[in-house]
Amino acid sequence: MFAGSTVLAQLLDYLPRRDFHDCVARYDGDHRLRNFSCRDQFLTLAFAQLTFRESLRDIETCLRALGPKLYHAGFRGRIARSTLADANRVHDWRIFADFAQVLIRRARQLYHREPFGVRLKKTVYALDSTTIDLCLSLFPWAKFRRRKAAIKMHTLLDLRGNIPCFIHVSQGKFHDVNILDTLPIEPQAFYVMDRGYLDFARLHRFTAAGAFFVIRAKRNLDFRRCSRQPVDRTTGLRSDTMIALKGVRTARRYPDRLRRIAFRDVERDRRLVFLTNNTTLAALTITKLYRSRWQVELFFKWIKQNLRIKAFYGTTENAVKTQIRVAISIYVLVAIIRKELKLERSQSDILQILSLTLFEKMPLIQAFSEEKPRDDDQPRHNQPSLFDL
């Protein structure tokens, strides 16, 4: 019999405690402790994400039923729904945002050589947002429309490992293109975006910073052709041209030349036109880069299906942002464990297994093994012994 710690305690060993304390101290998170620290709050919300709890009462009931097991897992504060509600309202959400970045940096180191479908040594990001509907009477600060509330989660996804590198939560009426003003730009990296982010003044920031972008063009684009490259039409390519913008405003906002690539998607029977400031990659590679943007859509679908980010444990802006950052931390933690333990299982399978084995005492790697351990204390056959009769 395994006499070590629980699966949850082993799981938390992957969380750097010193870095978490640094994040708490940065925002003076434990100034008014009230016997429920930021770490207790993080562990409680992490438990809620891992076990799919639906409400504060649900969290309180389940954790209190576990009794002394909580202490050995790292819980120190008394679990009460009122205390957790106060912590979600008061403890600065930036504590958990900064800690999520610590885990993200670790995950990116582990996945920096992970293939993603395009042979390219440079870093490739996909940028998009997803809308989460809310009740206007409960979330009046997130007003979206006249009778509807919503928030948007803007995400920059590293396609090597599908690790979210940048998360910004805004009100639903915040336009996607405005996120380009605060987006960190990494030189030599590729940023793949849909045409909702087409703003030439903002796109010129990528060129000035030495980064590359791939984005869909709009139909009413006013331009003149400067040069043309031959293409293999059997691959779906239709044209590969260098263009200059002709519009008075657009030419001033983006004075450099752009590369325009037209592609025919036979499977969906539609014509796609891409704009990029990269002139060295093959045209077909540019189209493959844009196709890889679909990974960010799959990321949004995964977290909405497997984590609690559509229903919230608090109604304040701070509580909502805290819960989303903790959910991202759990997503990244599962990705880290999958790589560290060299697991072949999907992240969904890992999460489902953890939800059932958190307080079991077994080696963490054994929890994900498909082979059942042999129990030497039990007879290996069903036939009774002669001396038992």
pLDDT at residue 1, rounded to an integer = 43
pLDDT at residue 48, rounded to an integer = 94
Residue 213 confidence (pLDDT) above 90: yes
Range of the domain at 200: 195-292
Q: What percent of the chain has pLDDT over 70?
A: 94
Q: For 141-174, write each residue's pLDDT tens digit.
A: 998 988 899 999 999 999 999 999 999 999 999 9
pLDDT at residue 372, rounded to an integer = 56
pLDDT at residue 386, rounded to an integer = 44
101 compared with 374, residue with greater pLDDT? 101
The answer as to whether 223 is a domain residue is yes
User: Can you say whether residue 373 is alpha, beta or left, with left for phi > 0 and alpha for psi between -120 and 50 degrees?
Assistant: beta
**pTM exceeding the 0.95 threshold for the entire prediction:** no
Mean pLDDT of 53-79: 84
> Are 251 and 327 within one domain?
no
> Are 282 and 318 within one domain?
no
Residue 64 confidence (pLDDT) above 60: yes
> Are 286 and 322 within one domain?
no
Q: How confident is the model at residue 2 (pLDDT cuts 50, 70, 90)?
A: low
Tell me which of 230, 263, 292 is where a domain ends. 292
Residue 292 in contact with residue 192, Cβ under 8 Å? Answer: yes
Tell me which of 228, 257, 292 is where a domain ends. 292
Residue 255 in contact with residue 201, Cβ under 8 Å? Answer: no
Tokens coding 348: 């969904």
pLDDT at residue 20, rounded to an integer = 95
Residue 387 confidence (pLDDT) above 50: no
- Long-range contacts (CB closer than 8 Å, 24 or more residues apart) made by 113-119: 113/160, 114/160, 114/161, 115/160, 116/159, 116/160, 116/292, 116/295, 117/288, 117/291, 117/292, 118/285, 118/288, 118/289, 118/292
Mean pLDDT of 268-276: 92
Lowest average pLDDT, out of 42-51, 258-267, 330-339, 371-380, goes to: 371-380
Residue 300 confidence (pLDDT) above 60: yes
> Are 321 and 287 within one domain?
no
Mean pLDDT of 211-238: 93
The answer as to whether 321 is a domain residue is yes
Total of domains in the chain: 2
> Are 277 and 323 within one domain?
no
> Are 46 and 87 within one domain?
yes
Averaged confidence pLDDT in the chain:
90
> Are 207 and 255 within one domain?
yes
pLDDT at residue 269, rounded to an integer = 86
Mean pLDDT of 75-87: 86
pLDDT at residue 371, rounded to an integer = 63
pLDDT at residue 71, rounded to an integer = 76
Mean pLDDT of 327-337: 96
The answer as to whether 136 is a domain residue is no
Q: For 244-271, write each residue's pLDDT tens digit.
A: 999 889 999 999 999 999 999 888 889 9
pLDDT at residue 375, rounded to an integer = 53
The answer as to whether 63 is a domain residue is yes
The answer as to whether 45 is a domain residue is yes
Q: Please provide the size of the chain in residues.
A: 389
> Are 283 and 236 within one domain?
yes
> Are 288 and 317 within one domain?
no
The answer as to whether 104 is a domain residue is no
Residue 77 confidence (pLDDT) above 60: yes
pLDDT at residue 236, rounded to an integer = 92
> Are 21 and 77 within one domain?
yes
The answer as to whether 251 is a domain residue is yes
Q: For 181-190, write each residue's pLDDT tens digit.
A: 999 999 999 9
